[in-house]
Chains A and B, each alone.
Chain A
Amino acid sequence: MIHHKKILLSLFFLLSFSLLGLGQFCADFHKAGDCRKDLIPNFRYYNQSRSDLIKVGFTVKYDVVFYGEQEYMVSFCTMKNFYPVHFKLIDGMTEEVFYDNKEDDYLESIGFAVEKTRRILVEIEILAHQASDKEIEEYYPCIGMFIQFREYQE
């Protein structure tokens, strides 16, 4: 009996770790989470969209190439209780902050146009205002950055 229990436990952990260890938890979260509410007709999906694991107190930084004469809609999503998402758009060369959503009461998406191609650093953290201390301590939610684009129309 004890022997069987040991086998079962070992198999359980082996299976769990082999699957979870792949880091696939958050893959495609940006395509399926709350971000999809921001789908806009006439905009196209930008391949630099992505999702990752995050934790309260950690910051995710993405260095993204945005092309000139294009208009972008960048949306952020996480899991319930872990909102709001705090993000900043920072110049990839000078580190000047272009936009901080704190000034807009943590708006979850931003539309902007870029005149000349540039690299922009997107810095993201979750503030988890609704989460309990236990949730903040124990859970690792997903963060999604969903980018759509179209030609800039003045």
Chain B
Amino acid sequence: MNLKILTFVLVLIYICVFSACKFSKSGEGELAGSPDDSSTLETLKGELEILNNILFLLPSPGEIVEGFFNSDLEYKPGLVNSAEKKDSYLGSRSQALNLGIYVTDLAYLAKFGLTGESVDYFEAVRSLSTQVGVSTEIFESLMERARTNISDPDSMVLISNEACNEMFAFLETSRKESTLAIISAGAYIESLYLVLETREEFMEDDPVFEQISEMKYPFDNLLSMAKVYEEDENVAGIIKYLNLINQTFEQLAVDETETTVTKKDGKLVIGGGAEFNLTAENFMEMKSAIRSIRAEITTI
């Protein structure tokens, strides 16, 4: 077999393998849905073993910021972590935690239409993502779109969410779930920091405090997810932060009403359940805990 034939066959193999991958991802094409787009590889059995456990899913930092700051919470200058510090974080745990912090800051700035600053934070996210092993390719076109849409806050929100989704999907598909857990911890800590620091005092009827107490649910999932990877020493290092935060959530008083499942106009309605109540004391305690954890993470 001469070199030309060898090259031709190699190119053919590349095309076949790459098109198969693309096909499976999209699910499109005339063979879509046929068993042919399934995998028969023995190696994939490992993934099924993982699936035999519960997978803890989390709302994205963008969704959390969107939820909090859709209420009457106003923008407070000076809260976000300076993007200039991005190159000062050393060590994979510190880089991943601060990446999570910048992801939330980016969503926060984009939400309030601070598009110029958003581009700097986009750059910080891209820079730290590279440090933790995320392909820079996923940011190239998004970065360009961010620069083009700098005057359009809505587009910036979409682009920042997309960047976050792409990054998380990359980490998951490249089996870097432990890094994903650390980034998520950073992002969640920053979400709580931003919202707690925006309110000076506790007010009984302010719906924001109800939303803060509801963060217990995604935090529970984050802690459970982190515990799956606690053999990783970097993850073990962040579990101490999560446990501290969890302690503040555990102190919340619970109102429980019986769960009801009814059908209204053909729609299932799941009523009742647990409601966690935040008091002024809980608020101050949580604020103090988050402030010190956040300072420990972001201080160079």
Contact = CB atoms under 8 A, between A and B. Distances in A.
Interface of A: 1, 4, 7-8, 11-12, 15-17, 19-29, 32-34, 46-48, 50, 52-55, 58-65, 67-68, 71, 79-82, 91, 93-94, 96, 98-99, 110-121, 131, 135, 138-142, 154
A53 B48 contact: yes
A59 B50 CA distance: 11
Interface of B: 1, 6, 9-10, 13-14, 17-18, 21, 24-28, 32-35, 37-41, 43-44, 47-48, 51-60, 62-63, 67, 161, 165, 169, 172-175, 214, 217-218, 220-221, 224, 259, 261, 264, 267-275
Classify the interface of chain A: helix, strand, loop or mixed. mixed
A110 B214 CA distance: 24
22 contacts: A19-B17, A20-B21, A22-B175, A24-B21, A28-B26, A29-B24, A33-B32, A47-B62, A47-B165, A53-B39, A61-B54, A62-B54, A63-B221, A68-B214, A91-B259, A98-B270, A112-B268, A112-B269, A113-B269, A115-B273, A142-B27, A142-B38
A64 B225 CA distance: 12
B35 A139 contact: yes
A114 to B, nearest CB: 5
A28 B27 CA distance: 9
Name which of A11, A61, A63 has the most chain B CB atoms within 10 A of its CB: A63
A60 B50 CA distance: 9
A60 B49 CA distance: 10
A65 B259 contact: no
Contacts of B52: 58-59
Nearest to B31: A80
B17 A15 contact: yes
Contacts of B33: 33-34, 79-81
